[in-house]
């Protein structure tokens, strides 16, 4: 008798698939299972967007110019932890973390350096920022104005997904309700002032990194997306307008076929959710997504094996119809990626795009008995989770009750247990190991960069018009207290060189801080 084989999501992989549930759908048509564009990559390749940011704005600027020179189509900014949780580099809580997991951005002055020599109107920029997304976007808008850019033409994405922070990642500041208010303020402001900007990237990536299954990843992500859409609708916004600026962010993990099916199922599900919420504009029903290869799948043992893992994961994202893609550096289990590793990661995408032939047909996996079956099974299991979350009152209530957190923790435990027991093979870790290996040179961050950031902050506060900053912060406080849209007031404050920490502290004072 054949051994029963299950994916991490508990879906049985049959020995042979002999029938297809293909619905004869066409790409670019509702419910978009086969892709959001009729011609997909024949018309335009996905955006090759390499995630980078470390140390100071000056150092990150050099890496961005290097990536652009090597064929990157869009920039993706990583911020350090103090920036993510609203502390300037001189704050006691920032000690030991400045510039470590991303670039330190304390003010518009840092943003000016970060994009020195790069015209914002000529590129798209993705910013992985959540709790302080309103402030970082305001820095970007203020800089675009200084460059003379047409705000109607600048484009990019802010992650701005606070619900997954409560569920999986932890870089939240304020309680859920005021956090949701900040997000819908961004939706409203950008729809008028920066209409090409993607105002949220609803993220399953970090849910998967925390240990979820593929099913949980899309179920919790789509439930969160539903919560954001409902909050915007309750504010009087039209889903046919703001729905066009919603984007998603998924993980590409190791099970190739399950991942392809996951992306296809997610598109089909979101189309139905958006339709049920009142969307009639096709663009408001299309799930457009960025993919990043799985950081948690990278291994410190035999790190060159990670090149193969990343290639297979990237291929699954392309076969699944991604709109943009980041491929991880093979050395990222050891440190931030070196320039050489970043280049290899980018070249991986370019080889897939220009040499493999997989881009020549739209949804080449369609009609595969196995992929169609997996797409259906993943969808069914994900709907079951969403119904459960709906019964709890939606994502915010489910998170406050700890439901998503427990489900992710349980899945993570099962996965780790399977590795430790040897039931799941990780090449070079629990099988095919070697006794000794030499690791490649790693990328190190100078611990002294905090000193330089503090010096820049002190100089900024000496040079700026302190009275003007005070006036703008008071106007922001008044708007936040009265429940008005805070975005115009944040833009004015940071344009006068108010710092990230000053804006975050003002909101802390009004909204308080969330404690799990």
pLDDT digits (tens, 9 = 90+) for 189-218: 999 999 999 999 999 999 999 999 999 999
Question: To the nearest whole percent, how much of the chain has pLDDT over 90?
Answer: 89
What's the pLDDT at 1?
A: 52
**3-state class (DSSP) for residue 269:** helix
Does 109 score more than 60 pLDDT? yes
57 pLDDT more than 80? yes
User: Of 87, 243, 69, 288, which Cα lies nearest the Cα of 171?
Assistant: 87
Closest residue by Cα to residue 281 from 312, 255, 244: 244
- Cis peptide bond N-terminal to 461, omega within 30: no
For residues 222-226, give the mean pLDDT: 98
pLDDT score recorded for residue 442: 72
CA trace torsion 48, 54, 57, 62 (10° rounding) = -50
The pLDDT, as a whole number, for residue 405 is 96
Cα(373)–Cα(355) distance, integer angstroms: 29
Per the confidence metrics, is the pTM higher than 0.85? Answer: yes
Tokens of 85: 């949780």
Q: Are the beta carbons of 450 and 98 closer than 8 angstroms? A: yes
Q: What is the pLDDT of residues 159-194, one digit of tens each?
A: 999 999 999 999 999 999 999 999 999 999 999 999
Q: Give 329's pLDDT tier (boundaries 50, 70, 90).
A: very high
pLDDT in tens, 390-448: 999 999 999 999 999 999 999 999 999 999 999 999 999 999 999 888 777 776 767 78
CB 74 within 8 A of CB 324: yes
Buried b (16+ CB within 10 A) or exposed e, 371-409: bbbbbbbbbebbbebbeebeebebbbebbeeebbbebbe
* DSSP H or E run through 67: helix 57-69
Contact 318, 310 (CB under 8 A): no
What percent of the chain stands above pLDDT 70? 99
Task: Give pLDDT, residue 2.
Answer: 65
At 53, is the pLDDT very low, low, confident or very high (cuts 50, 70, 90)?
Answer: confident
User: Counting Cβ atoms within 10 Å, is residue 488 exposed (0-12), middle (13-18) or buried (19+)?
Assistant: middle
Rounded CA-CA distance 485/490 in Å is: 10
Q: 98-112, 200-214, 330-344: lowest mean pLDDT where?
A: 330-344
Q: What is the mean pLDDT of residues 340-347?
A: 94
CA 155 to chain CA centroid, Å, is 16
- Band the pLDDT of 46: cuts 50, 70, 90: very high
For 81, the token pair is 């932890």
Q: In the numeric block, which tokens belong to residue 25?
A: 């759908």
Compute the distance between CA of residue 241 and CA of residue 197 in angstroms, rounded to an integer.
Answer: 12
Q: How far from the centroid of its chain's Cα atoms is residue 250's Cα?
A: 7
How confident is the model over 140-149, as pLDDT tens digits? Answer: 999 999 999 9
The pLDDT value given to residue 130: 97
Q: How many residues make up the chain in this entry?
A: 516
Q: What is the pLDDT of residue 338?
A: 87
Residue 372: pLDDT over 60: yes
| 181 contacts 140 by C-beta, under 8 angstroms | no
* Closest to 500 in 3D by CA, of 56, 104, 95: 104
Say if residues 74 and 47 touch (Cβ distance below 8 Å). Answer: yes
The residues pairing with 74 across neighbouring beta strands, listed in sequence order, are 49
For residues 253 and 29, give the distance between their C-alpha atoms in angstroms, rounded to a whole number. Answer: 27
pLDDT for the residue numbered 469: 98
Rounded (5°) CA angle 495-496-501: 85
pLDDT digits (tens, 9 = 90+) for 453-503: 999 999 999 999 999 999 999 999 999 999 999 999 999 999 999 999 999
Q: What is the mean pLDDT of the chain?
A: 94
pLDDT tier, 304 (very low <50, low <70, confident <90, very high otherwise): very high
What angle (nearest 5°) sits at the alpha carbon of residue 142, between those of residues 140 and 144? 70
Q: Is the pLDDT of residue 24 over 90?
A: no
Q: What stretches of 235-376 adopt beta strand conformation (E)?
A: 246-252, 289-293, 324-326
Q: What is the average per-residue pLDDT within 351-356? A: 98
Quote the pLDDT of residue 15: 92
Q: 10 Å Cβ neighbour count for 232? A: 25
Confidence (pLDDT) at 13: 94
Mean pLDDT confidence for 51-56: 81
**The two structure tokens encoding residue 308:** 């193969």
């Amino acid at each position: 008798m054949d051994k029963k084989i299950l994916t991490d999501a508990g879906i049985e992989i049959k020995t042979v698939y002999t029938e297809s549930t293909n619905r004869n759908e066409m790409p670019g048509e509702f419910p978009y299972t086969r892709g959001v564009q009729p011609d997909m990559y024949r018309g335009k390749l996905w955006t090759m967007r390499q995630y980078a940011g470390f140390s100071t704005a000056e150092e990150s600027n050099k890496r961005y110019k290097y990536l652009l020179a090597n064929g990157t189509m869009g920039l993706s900014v990583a911020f350090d932890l103090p920036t993510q949780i609203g502390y300037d580099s001189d704050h006691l809580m920032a000690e030991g973390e400045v510039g470590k997991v991303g670039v330190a951005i304390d003010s518009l002055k840092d943003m000016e350096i970060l994009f020195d020599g790069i015209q914002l109107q000529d590129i798209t920029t993705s910013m992985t920022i959540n709790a302080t997304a309103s402030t970082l976007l305001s820095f970007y808008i203020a800089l675009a104005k200084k460059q003379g850019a047409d705000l109607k033409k600048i484009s990019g994405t802010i992650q701005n997904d606070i619900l997954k922070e409560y569920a999986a990642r932890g870089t939240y500041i304020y309680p859920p309700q005021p956090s949701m208010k900040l997000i819908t303020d961004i939706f409203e402001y950008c729809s008028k002032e920066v209409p090409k900007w993607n105002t949220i990237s609803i993220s399953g990536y970090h849910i998967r990194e925390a240990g979820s299954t593929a099913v949980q990843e899309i179920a919790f992500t789509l439930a969160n997306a539903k919560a954001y859409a409902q909050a915007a609708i309750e504010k009087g916004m039209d889903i046919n307008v703001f729905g066009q600026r919603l984007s998603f962010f998924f993980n590409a993990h190791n099970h190739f076929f399950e991942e392809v099916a996951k992306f296809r199922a997610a598109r089909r599900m979101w189309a139905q959710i958006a339709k049920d919420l009142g969307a009639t504009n096709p663009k408001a029903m299309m799930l457009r997504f960025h993919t990043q290869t799985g950081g948690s799948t990278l291994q410190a043992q035999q790190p060159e094996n990670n090149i193969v893992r990343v290639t297979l994961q990237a291929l699954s994202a392309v076969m699944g119809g991604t709109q943009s893609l980041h491929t991880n550096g093979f050395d990222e289990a050891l440190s931030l990626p070196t320039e050489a590793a970043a280049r290899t990661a980018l070249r991986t995408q370019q080889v897939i795009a220009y040499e493999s032939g997989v881009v020549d047909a739209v949804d080449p996996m369609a009609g595969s008995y196995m992929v169609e079956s997996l797409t259906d099974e993943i969808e069914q299991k994900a709907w079951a989770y969403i119904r459960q979350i709906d019964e709890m009152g939606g994502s915010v209530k489910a998170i406050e009750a700890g439901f998503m957190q427990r489900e992710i923790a349980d899945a993570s435990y099962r996965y780790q247990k399977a590795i430790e027991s040897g039931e799941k093979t990780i090449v070079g870790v629990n099988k095919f190991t070697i006794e000794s290996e030499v690791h490649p040179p790693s990328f190190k961050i100078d611990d002294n960069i905090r000193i330089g950031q503090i010096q820049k902050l002190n100089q900024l506060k000496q040079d700026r018009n302190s009275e003007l900053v005070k006036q703008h912060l008071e106007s922001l406080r008044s708007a936040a207290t009265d429940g008005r849209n805070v975005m115009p007031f944040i833009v004015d404050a940071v344009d006068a060189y108010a710092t990230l920490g000053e804006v975050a502290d003002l909101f802390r004072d009004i909204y308080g801080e969330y404690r799990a």
